[in-house]
Amino acid sequence: MSSLQLYDQLIQMWLYLIGPHVHHLLRPFCYRYEELPDGSLLLHLTGQEPVRTQLLVGADGYFSRVRQQCLGDGPPTFNDRAMWRGRIKEECAVACGVSAGTSAMYQGDYRVAMCFPISGGEVVWTAFAPGESWRS
């Protein structure tokens, strides 16, 4: 199963759970929103008429315009920590010493790595390293 197929399955499950009254947007992009006096939001979308809603989920990425407008926190800043994520075939994880179908976590010197199985015979991994340690 490809990443796009898995993503589509997740979206379809999410839409099923929250019901038909939800306006689902993958595109067009929400570039600005207004809070209205009744507590609802007016979303200004690229290439479309504005959409009125009660809830906006801002899952628009690392440089989120929704987050920036809501929090006014500016662009993300580097906090001298590094994190990597990836997805590999289970055979690769087994070749690295992880038993098939299991999760694993490694830590030491403030470094952490973990992996866990997902569907389709794949494993998700993530690793974290603080400060200068990630550069060496």
Q: Where are the domains of the chain?
A: 3-71, 81-135
pLDDT tens by residue, 50-75: 888 887 776 666 677 777 777 788 77
Indicate whether this model's pTM tops 0.85: no
The DSSP call for residue 15 is: H
Q: How far is residue 128's CA from residue 134's CA, in Å, rounded to a whole number?
A: 8
6-14 contacts at long range (C-beta below 8 A, 24 or more positions apart) = 6/119, 6/120
CATH of region 81-135: 3.40.1840
Question: What H or E segment, with its residue span, contains residue 123?
Answer: strand 122-130
pLDDT tens by residue, 8-34: 666 677 666 666 666 655 555 667 888
